[in-house]
Structure 1
Amino acid sequence: MGSLATSLGIVLLSLAVAVLLSWKRNPGAPADFVITNCSIWTADQDVPWAESMAVRRGRILRVGSLSFVKVAGSDTEFRDLEGQFVVPGFIDSHVHFIPGGLQLVRLDLHDVHTRLEFTQKVQHAAHGLEPNEWLQGFGWSNEHWGGEWPDSSWIDSVTEKNPVWLSRMDGHMGLANKVAMDICDLKSVKEDPTGGSIVRDADGVPTGLLVDAAMILLTSCVPKPSLEQRRDALARASHYAVSKGVTSVVDFGSYFPGGSIKESWNDFEEVYTWMDSLGNMTVRSALFFPLETWPRVAALIKERGRHISDWVHIGGVKAFADGSLGSGTALFHQHYEDDPNNFGLRVADLSWLSESVSAAFESKLQVAVHAIGDAANDDVLGIYADAISKHPRQGHRLRVEHAQHLSPGAHLKFGTFSISASMQPEQLLDDAYYAVKKLGEKRSRGSYNLRSLLGNGSVVALGSDWPVVAVNPLGGIRAAVERTPSGWSHPWIPEERISAWDAVAGYTSLAAYAAALEDLVGSLTPGKFADFVVLSESPFAQGTGIFPRVVATFVGGNIAFLS
């Protein structure tokens, strides 16, 4: 079976190479369609601007002036875009795609700003549920109502017949009601698991809050989504993504601290592979798997290559170094200003992390590690530097996911060691409300240092971390350029604002490079996939009060979304 799969993989790879070469050898071949009368930003340094683009068999044939790209046959269609703006398809550099699709049909608490609202929303969602049916929700932030942590008493009286699990917006903490805690026998757990904590009251009784690795004590009792629900979630997530102009994602799967390492693999084998086999994929996905499984990833790439198909790509492996700022589990060198006994949480053993990263790196895998606090970022940068010194190679594409809060000078190491920073601009709009409270004025200046990283030659790829924040590249571009939270009249850390050009590149060419997909997507270059977005306005006109919207999204030359 293995030899058959290997042979099939070689055949498919050969066909793909042949198709790509055909574009380069036959530039005069007739186009399937040509878009005209538009402003095209290609993200290709050789031809950055164009007014027309020809597409053939799902790939870009030519870009330039209409006279140059006019390689028409009898069936070629000309599409007049009436002066609209075209950019490469956006790439969201950090999502949890199937969990995001699942969350679209669950209780959303993002907009809750008081305890009363919290209780009422849960009560409304619980109404009509069958007894013992689980209620799942997400998105709450205690900072929205002043910082007080919720506990099960907020919702117990309105959910007496149903177990409840509500994830905080960052996914590093959740709230369970009494029914759920009783089902999971949480009272019998006397010690916190490594890399997590059970929040208890003064008498040692669990309050319902579980942090990072401790969440598995509750989530292991929650019924897993069925195969049909997961497949529906991928379709739902894809439809949502293309409506936002996203044509490719870097998917870090269903693995979270303390969670099962099997779920990302199950999703790959049972959901992605299935949908790909039916020809129903509409968003290209680079998949990352838990670092614990790096030998399996290496074996898969050896057998089938990194590009399983035009739609499914093997990205690499991912681990966690710490938690999140909002949950008080991001790891810092100094204690939290509002919690003097708390330095954050190291969610992975440092020796294991170092050894595993080194082994995966030696096997030429792409490695990504979640790091939020300054101490966690310094840990990861040190581990990466050690791996590079032991096994030096060019084009390694090591990534730090989030890189939110850096110690002085840390940004220089990203450039020195060619480490990509995968960052989420819209999250800064939330962190701005409480970063000073948690870190103090001086330390908070090291937050979301986008401009400093870019100024040092680092690759900064942008994304959302959906479902933490919704997929929305246009919103992310605006956040990176303006850095002004809702209700503020001034930007947060204005010196770290970046240009609209850099922000759009962060969702296109730089995102493609950070995911090792730059030969396929990220720019409108002949031979690459015809993945592009039609916008109502230029995305580079930030600061004018005019904001573009997505008019249409094309993936492989096909219309995936039309407003």
Structure 2
Amino acid sequence: MRLALLHSSLFVLASMGALGAAHADTVLDRANGYTLNSKNELVRFASLAFDDKGKVIAVGSAAAVAAKAPKARHIDMQGRTVLPGLIDAHGHVFGLGEMLTQLDLSTTATLADALKAVSAYAGANPKQLWLRGRGWNQEIWKLGRFPTAAELDGAVADRPILLERVDGHAGWANSRALQLAGITSTTPDPAGGKIMRDAAGNATGILIDAAQSLVQKVMPDQTEAQARVVLDRALAEIARVGITSVHDAGVDSGNDRLYRDYADSGKLTVRVYGMIGGVEQDFDRLAANGPLKNYASDMYALRAVKLYSDGALGSRGAALIAPYSDEPSSRGLLFSSAAAMRATMEKAMKKGYQVNVHAIGDAGNRQILDGYKALVTSTASAGQRHRIEHAQVVALGDIARFKSIGIIPSMQPTHATSDMNMAEQRVGAERIKGAYAWRTFLKQGSRIACGSDFPVESPNPFFGIHAAVTRQDAQGKPAAGWYAGQAMTLKEAFRCFTLDAAYAGHQEDTLGSLEPGKWADFIVIDQDLFTMPASAIHKTGVLETWVAGRKVYQRK
């Protein structure tokens, strides 16, 4: 995989280096093309023309398109399937790059596998002062509990280690890391976080949500050179899986600086719709001139804010109205009081930003819906298209409020198939009816913006489309689909990764479909998405990725 990513990076750099060279109009011939239009109709096309600026001129039959671009160069697609570039409405670009450059535990099947991987990684990286990684999941390991610092010490004891859980909402530290962070039996839990402790009150090594910051603040800062390597790796992977636009859920000042630099120099190979992480110092700096709506030919925007109401279901940090079904002593964590959260939301709204709040549990979703209900009208910000990110477990009576208040549910289909091994255990048979409830949202007329939440999940959008349509994992389980009544049709899933994701970023007039005047962002795939068996959608491979009429990836 590392070699493939290196080849992808080199291809991207080579192709983007030629961006300054103008060319004539281009026509794709003999394409098996599909796109949606503004009427939500699935349109087929044989030819596509775009100009030297990367905007679509015409879509349709060979004769009709040729007439619109009489002096164009022609590319024979040889019957291959062409789709609009897919949009991931919720990802973490730098987080993906970091995962690709650190220890990846996402494929470990047992605790023993993970400890072996940690030991091997430490041996292969003797000069790293801190060891970092991500992807562990005690539910997959069937451990029945969280892992401990003592177990991690058995793999590496002489250097500090912090390993993020797959969802990013819990950290697993060894004793050396706890020692450097000054975490003892008397260390209080920080607001919005929890230090897991044993019967004697000693820290076990698991840090939930904000408690991770106790260790993170003593870690060395990432250098700009390291950040560039991380971004390069992420961009190469994003292009490889056919994503042409991503909504980055948590941009800081350093990220913003690099995005602008990459956009200016032609190195940004995916469009980035940025969400500023919080409303603290970075927000005050980045929001000084208001939302950035269009930068470098729509390659970058920074017009949203990302906030958090609660944690995640897997680590029992998601805030629930009633206790967890499998841990009656806990209801999870709300990160802020209702008043504090509303003040935060209001600050961003009044500055003109779209407010996108992470909410997993039904209490977290209710807190944010209550906040929107109180603020959207008073701030006259309905046009900012506020969102709830994940909208994962919602009280049945609260789902209709998304529509009545005008809130976009930004959801990630693969969360359902990844969580189905534990979700019902966490919330029980009644609350699960409002969980991952895509059909219920669609039936009431809500537009769902689909994404992956990478690196929590794979960035591959065809994994998401497959999960949305089948409610099954890659092994086809369960056979009938997990709560299959909440599945999407293929057309709905396609739309939520294209036009509706574009709408959620105020970009439906320029992105999300292949229509005259929009950007020529498209992908070429190795199967016909609309005729293949739904069970095989996740096997779809990307042959080429194009952004603004420039090829940024080609499969070797």
Both proteins in one fold, TM over 0.5: yes
Q: CA deviation at 1:219?
A: 0.9
Cα offsets for 1:54-99 (capped at 9, x unmatched): 0112111111111111147786221121222211111111111012
CA distance in 1, matches of 2:373, 2:99: 37
Q: Match of 1:481, SS? A: helix
Q: Match of 1:145, SS? A: coil
Within a 5 Å distance, the mapping from 1:48-59 to structure 2 comes to: 48-57=43-52, 58-59=54-55
1:419 to 407, 425, 436: 407
Other-structure match for 1:341? 329
CA distance in 2, matches of 1:73, 1:192: 65
Other-structure match for 1:11? none
CA distance in 1, matches of 2:344, 2:161: 36
CA distance in 1, matches of 2:98, 2:551: 24
1:199 lines up with 2:186 in the alignment: no
Identity among equivalent pairs (%): 33
CA distance in 1, matches of 2:24, 2:124: 55
Other-structure match for 1:83? 79
1:511 to 486, 492, 501: 501
Other-structure match for 1:291? 278
Which residue identity does 1:206 align to in structure 2? Answer: A
1:225 lines up with 2:222 in the alignment: yes
Within a 5 Å distance, the mapping from 1:207-218 to structure 2 comes to: 207-218=204-215
CA distance in 2, matches of 1:151, 1:360: 39
Q: CA deviation at 1:188?
A: 6.6
Which residue identity does 2:294 align to in structure 1? Answer: H
1:301 to 283, 290, 299: 290
> Does the 8 Å contact 1:248/1:285 carry over to 2?
yes
Other-structure match for 1:266? 254
CA distance in 2, matches of 1:462, 1:73: 34
Q: Judging changes above 3 Å, is the alpha-carbon distance between structure 1 residues 145 and 544 closer, same or farther for their aligned structure 2 residues?
A: closer
Which residue identity does 2:44 align to in structure 1? Answer: W
Between the two proteins, the alignment pairs up a number of residues equal to 522
CA distance in 2, matches of 1:425, 1:544: 15
Q: Match of 1:289, SS? A: strand
Which residue identity does 2:545 align to in structure 1? Answer: T
Q: CA deviation at 1:488?
A: 2.7
2:541 to 523, 526, 549: 549
1:127 lines up with 2:114 in the alignment: no
Q: CA deviation at 1:217?
A: 0.3
> Does the 8 Å contact 2:253/2:286 carry over to 1?
no
Other-structure match for 1:16? none
Q: Judging changes above 3 Å, is the alpha-carbon distance between structure 1 residues 45 and 72 closer, same or farther for their aligned structure 2 residues?
A: closer
Q: Judging changes above 3 Å, is the alpha-carbon distance between structure 1 residues 128 and 290 closer, same or farther for their aligned structure 2 residues?
A: closer
2:320 to 323, 327, 332: 332
CA distance in 1, matches of 2:403, 2:498: 20
CA distance in 1, matches of 2:202, 2:73: 69
Other-structure match for 1:10? none
Other-structure match for 2:522? 532
Give 5+ residue unaligned stretches, structure 1.
1-29, 255-263
Q: Aligned-pair RMSD on alpha carbons?
A: 1.9
Q: Match of 1:428, SS? A: helix
> Does the 8 Å contact 1:423/1:462 carry over to 2?
yes
Give 5+ residue unaligned stretches, structure 2.
1-22
Which residue identity does 2:35 align to in structure 1? Answer: T
Q: CA deviation at 1:394?
A: 4.8
Which residue identity does 1:430 align to in structure 2? Answer: S
CA distance in 1, matches of 2:481, 2:317: 26
Other-structure match for 1:15? none
Which residue identity does 2:481 align to in structure 1? Answer: P
> Does the 8 Å contact 2:49/2:69 carry over to 1?
no
Other-structure match for 1:458? 446
Other-structure match for 1:35? 28
Other-structure match for 1:172? 169
Other-structure match for 1:257? none
CA distance in 2, matches of 1:296, 1:420: 27
Q: Judging changes above 3 Å, is the alpha-carbon distance between structure 1 residues 545 and 207 closer, same or farther for their aligned structure 2 residues?
A: closer
Q: CA deviation at 1:545?
A: 4.3
Q: CA deviation at 1:236?
A: 1.2
> Does the 8 Å contact 1:55/1:530 carry over to 2?
yes
Other-structure match for 1:281? 268
Q: CA deviation at 1:273?
A: 1.8
Q: Judging changes above 3 Å, is the alpha-carbon distance between structure 1 residues 290 and 393 closer, same or farther for their aligned structure 2 residues?
A: closer
Which residue identity does 1:509 align to in structure 2? Answer: L
CA distance in 1, matches of 2:159, 2:382: 54
Cα offsets for 1:316-347 (capped at 9, x unmatched): 11110000000101011110011111001001
Which residue identity does 1:182 align to in structure 2? Answer: Q
1:364 to 345, 348, 352: 352
> Does the 8 Å contact 1:301/1:314 carry over to 2?
no
When structure 1 is superposed on structure 2, of 368-377 and 350-359 the one drifting more is 350-359
Other-structure match for 1:148? 145
Q: Match of 1:186, SS? A: coil
1:241 lines up with 2:233 in the alignment: no
Q: Match of 1:554, SS? A: strand
CA distance in 2, matches of 1:498, 1:186: 46
CA distance in 2, matches of 1:104, 1:482: 29
Q: CA deviation at 1:213?
A: 0.8
Which residue identity does 1:56 align to in structure 2? Answer: D
Other-structure match for 2:10? none
> Does the 8 Å contact 2:466/2:534 carry over to 1?
no
Which residue identity does 2:101 align to in structure 1? Answer: V
Q: CA deviation at 1:287?
A: 0.8
CA distance in 1, matches of 2:25, 2:230: 32
> Does the 8 Å contact 2:239/2:270 carry over to 1?
yes
CA distance in 1, matches of 2:456, 2:496: 19
Other-structure match for 2:15? none
Q: Match of 1:253, SS? A: strand
> Does the 8 Å contact 2:245/2:270 carry over to 1?
yes
When structure 1 is superposed on structure 2, of 63-72 and 418-427 the one drifting more is 63-72
